[in-house]
Amino acid sequence: MSSPTNLAPTLSPGTATAAAPAAAPFSTPALLVAMLNTAERISDLFFTPGKPPLVEINGKLTPAGASRILKVEDTQRIASDLIGNNQHALENLRERGSCDVSYSMPGASRFRVNVFMQRGTCAVVMRVIPAKVPDLESLHLPAELNKIVELRNGIVLVTGPTGSGKSSTLAAIIDKINKEQSYHVLTIEDPIEFLHSHKGCIVHQRELHSDTPSFALALRAALRQAPKVILVGEMRDKETIEIAMEAAETGHLVLSTLHTIDASKTVERIVGAFPMAEQHTLRNRLAKSFRYIISQRLVPRKGGAGRVAVIEILKSTLRTREYVEKGEVEGKTLLDAMRVGEQEGMQTFDGDIERLIRNGTLDMETGLAYATNPGNLQLDMSDLKLEAEAEVEADPLLETS
């Protein structure tokens, strides 16, 4: 592994501290193991000067692994251990102030790591990647997503904010394809997260910067590598979107992600990446090539027992293709299409939230906080409120003498 001094040029001169007896340095692997052993369902690990090591469990931070406060040199050493000899990452950290790498401990766990500068010092956030590839059932995802395995071409997008479970959903879909089909599957990731073994399919996983310099170059090369399924970690730019569309139009199934909050915003983000003169043609191509747009949010469960994925599904139908091609207008929106498309496998965020509130998975207050249209959802749930009020009125313990 590279020496911590590799990161020294990224620190400002003002961060030097007066000479003092130094505490014994952390062993990064031992610290990570100790942190992971403190609890189940740890999603992220945090290292920042002025705080002890922290883990995030169900959306809340708690100290773990070591009680002493981290110093500047501690986080710098941890960052250096995680980056190792990855020169591209070191260059990004020095020139751009942050970098992404993957890190693995054999027999323990794998992580997606972001190292970044703040106040002239290094901070580190590590996303824990489960050793086992999840399946659609364990993630409690809608049965409609099983149909993606049968698709032969087109684009499937999984969208949502950072940390909403997009990578897990795509990994579950790839794993199901891997079990049930006999294809060449190619993934292009930054960095590689879940490791897929060869099952019914052969799965080749390419990592940005170590196996290929860019998504666009790897995607263009993929067209000559005879895959049936291509996973692109993220549709980051116009060139990647263009080649992904070309791949979908030439008989490939393309899976990818976007950091958008719902189906409508996803379409606008893709279209908006192109000049105005090209947008009409792009809408036409997207309408013909998209198969599903799946948007998700992770919402705290009732009682604080973890989080549950709330899912919106837009499916390619005659109606939705028309709305994508011609653009949304009053009374003809993708949200309207999803509301009336339940029989075709579509669902809205608010419809899924209502279902989860009614079956006791979410409480009303939390559900409304994450809803797309809280006012309408509250009206739709008014019968629950009336039932609760009726129960209170009928409770003999509350009757006055």
pLDDT at 9 over 70: no
Task: Write out the two tokens for 351.
Answer: 């419809």
Q: Tokens 């947008």 sit at which residue? A: 279
What is the C-alpha to C-alpha distance for residues 17 and 365, in angstroms, rounded to an integer?
48
Q: What one-character-per-residue DSSP string does 326-341 give?
A: H--BTTB-HHHHHHT-
Q: Which CATH class is domain 143-347?
A: alpha beta
Q: Which CATH class is domain 4-129?
A: alpha beta
Q: Tokens 């730019």 sit at which residue? A: 237
Higher-pLDDT residue of 321, 19:
321
Q: Is the peptide bond before 191 cis (omega within 30 degrees of 0)?
A: yes
Higher-pLDDT residue of 230, 10:
230
Instruction: Return the number of other C-beta atoms located less than 10 Å from residue 215's C-beta.
Output: 25
> What separation in angstroms does the CA of 235 have from each of 161, 215, 232, 243?
14, 8, 7, 10
Helices 238-249 and 215-222: crossing angle in degrees, nearest 10, is: 20
Q: What angle do CA 25, 29, 31 make, to 5 degrees?
A: 60
For the segment 339-361, the average pLDDT, to the nearest whole number, is: 95
Find all residues with CB under 8 Å of 297, minimum gap 6, and list them: 160, 161, 164, 309, 310, 349, 370
Q: Where are the domains of the chain?
A: 4-129, 143-347
What is the C-alpha to C-alpha distance for residues 66 and 313, in angstroms, rounded to an integer?
43
What's the confidence (pLDDT) of residue 17?
43
What's the confidence (pLDDT) of residue 107?
72
Higher-pLDDT residue of 105, 370:
370
What is the C-alpha to C-alpha distance for residues 217 and 227, in angstroms, rounded to an integer?
15
Q: Which segments of 250-291 does DSSP mark as H helices, in order?
A: 263-272, 276-289
pLDDT band at 20 (very low <50, low <70, confident <90, very high): very low
Choice among 57-61, 102-106, 124-128, 391-395 with the minimum mean pLDDT: 391-395
Task: Write out the two tokens for 290.
Answer: 């998209």
Q: What one-character-per-residue DSSP string does 196-256 give?
A: PPPSSSEEEEEEBTTTBS-HHHHHHHHTTS--SEEEES---SHHHHHHHHHHHHTT-EEEE
pLDDT band at 357 (very low <50, low <70, confident <90, very high): very high
pLDDT at 65 over 70: yes
What is the C-alpha to C-alpha distance for residues 397 and 20, in angstroms, rounded to an integer?
67
What is the C-alpha to C-alpha distance for residues 103 and 192, in angstroms, rounded to an integer?
10
Task: Write out the two tokens for 206.
Answer: 């390419």
Backbone angles phi, psi at 271, to 5 degrees: -65, -40
Mean pLDDT in the chain? 89
pLDDT digits (tens, 9 = 90+) for 200-228: 999 999 998 889 998 999 999 999 999 99
For the segment 245-251, the average pLDDT, to the nearest whole number, is: 95
Chain-centroid distance of CA 259 in Å reads 8
Instruction: List 255's β-bridge partners, or say none.
Output: 156, 231
Instruction: Return the number of other C-beta atoms located less than 10 Å from residue 142's C-beta.
Output: 15
Q: How many residues does the chain have?
A: 401
What is the C-alpha to C-alpha distance for residues 186 and 355, in angstroms, rounded to an integer?
36
For the segment 383-400, the average pLDDT, to the nearest whole number, is: 60
> What separation in angstroms does the CA of 378 have from each of 297, 357, 364?
19, 11, 9
pLDDT band at 304 (very low <50, low <70, confident <90, very high): confident
What's the confidence (pLDDT) of residue 320?
97
What is the C-alpha to C-alpha distance for residues 61 and 119, in angstroms, rounded to an integer?
21
pLDDT band at 349 (very low <50, low <70, confident <90, very high): very high
pLDDT at 85 over 60: yes
